[in-house]
Amino acid sequence: MKFEWKGVFPAVTTKFTDNDELDFEAFDHNINAQLEAGVDGLILGGSLGEASVLNEEEKYALLKHTVEFVEGKVPVLLNIAEQTTKAAVACAQKALEYGASGLMLLPPMRYKADDGETLAFLTAVAKSTPLPIMIYNNPVDYKIEVTLDMFEELAKYDNIQAVKESTRDISNVTRMINRFGDRFKIMTGVDPLAMESLVMGADGWVAGLVDAFPRETVAIYRLVKANRISEALAIYRWFLPVLELDIHPKLVQYIKLAEVATGIGTENVRAPRLKIEGAEREKVLKTINDALANRPVLPEGSWGKVESAQLA
């Protein structure tokens, strides 16, 4: 399906049963909450989706199930986070076979490729598929930066269309726009910098805490794009302590705990991750519960299935 790189794209969590199997019932419950809030796309198998602990059968089962479940309401993207070029190309081809609308693509995992190796990896995947691709640029967590000069080379490939901007340098949004105009759509990928990035011209938001707070996330995006900055800012200031859970190494456990608190998720994670306990758990729960105790009333029409244009 054709789609635009704009709006809110949740990087959804993968749900597991107590027996460590895929929990499609809990997954569907959360996806329904996302769709009802008015998200614009879904991303499977990212960092929050615990991609590193999913086997191939589970990954493609999740993709196939999601595509069938959403029935074309929004695009479904699959993340590619592989160690080898051969595996990444195979994943891109399987994604097309099982109905993915597009791909989020990381540089090589584990091996710290140089610029030439990284470009060869990314372009090999682009050449192997007609699917639209968003490059995930996250040098903080994955130690490889896709530089502006590298994007100049990637611009030769029509299906490389967007970037998940996670450098944590807010000026990089402006640098990308100054150099490339609208050649690459920019999707902000760091929750605590999301509103700032949107104000600076980012087209969309690949979000994490949306998994627990879908309406508030969509409301911030729509209000910013409707230039209702003060209304967006009030929600964003309330939301920021929770959004900061997204940049912790245990973001999966923290966000799943938030999903439980808002009634749209489960806490089960797959080992080697473990549920958080003790003082750490109490600290995270306090952040979440403080937010819930002061949850804002959202402006009418700022979330849900209405078109964002109606906000203007």
Tens-place pLDDT, residues 207-258: 999 999 999 999 999 999 999 999 999 999 999 999 999 999 999 999 999 9
- At residue 305, the pLDDT reads 80
- At residue 310, the pLDDT reads 44
Structure tokens at 244: 């900061």
- Kindly report the CATH number assigned to the domain that includes residue 74: 3.20.20.70
Q: What would the mean pLDDT of 119-126 be, rounded to a whole number?
A: 98
Q: Please name which of 115, 311, 285, 107 lies closest in space to residue 226, comparing C-alpha atoms.
A: 311
Q: What would the mean pLDDT of 298-306 be, rounded to a whole number?
A: 90
Which H or E run contains 78?
A: strand 76-80
| Residue 62 predicted with pLDDT over 50 | yes
Note whether residue 1 is domain-resident: no
- At residue 312, the pLDDT reads 43
- At residue 311, the pLDDT reads 47
Q: Work out the pLDDT band at 308, boundaries 50, 70, 90.
A: very low
| Residue 172 predicted with pLDDT over 80 | yes
Strand partners, 164: 136, 187
Note whether residue 2 is domain-resident: no
Which residues, other chains included, contact 185 with Cβ-Cβ below 8 Å and sequence gap of 6+?
4, 5, 6, 134, 161, 162, 163, 203, 204
| Residue 129 predicted with pLDDT over 60 | yes
CB 197 within 8 A of CB 165: yes
Look at 31 and 305; give whichever has higher pLDDT.
Answer: 31
Write down the mean pLDDT value for the chain. Answer: 96
Structure tokens at 285: 């729960």
Note whether residue 237 is domain-resident: yes
Domain count across the chain = 1
Alpha carbon 6 to chain centroid, angstroms: 12
Strand partners, 186: 163
As a dihedral over the C-alpha atoms of residue 24, residue 138, residue 121, residue 85, rounded to 10 degrees, the angle is: -40
Residue with tokens 């729960």: 285
Print the domain residue range for 149: 7-311
| pLDDT tens-digit map of 87-114 | 999 999 999 999 999 999 999 998 999 9
Note whether residue 50 is domain-resident: yes
